[in-house]
Amino acid sequence: MSKGKKDFAYVNLQGTVVFSDVVRYDNNTKELHNYFIQIVEKYTDKKGDERERKHSFKATQFGLRKNSDVFMRGDRVKIKGFLKVNSYKNDEDEWVNQVYVAINEIDYAK
């Protein structure tokens, strides 16, 4: 997808919350919610045996009101959002790039 001069990837995923965290900011009036969402991919290997791969994605929701509802570990959720990259220099002065999903919508999955 392209919006003006910025390119971005739209994300639509469904998985299980394996970690959740709340960070307050803006004089304790707003929150951001961090989640790790796990998705299980089932596949058949070369021998015909059924296997699973587990993938985890960091997802963050910004600009929420203080004490907003938080999804907890074990909740099945569906997320719509965009892939983003958080870049920073670590203590060794090396660049670190962390990919995450910026959440536009999150709700319980059926």
Cα 83 to the center of its chain, rounded Å: 9
pTM of the model: 0.82
For 16-63, what is each residue's pLDDT tens digit?
Answer: 999 999 999 999 899 999 999 999 999 999 999 999 999 999 999 999
- pLDDT (tens digit, 9 = 90+) per residue, 70-110? 999 999 999 999 999 999 999 999 999 999 999 999 999 98
- Length, in residues, of the chain: 110
Hey, CA dihedral for 39, 58, 72, 90, is it positive or negative?
A: positive
**Domain annotation for the chain: domains and CATH numbers:** 10-108 (2.40.50.140)
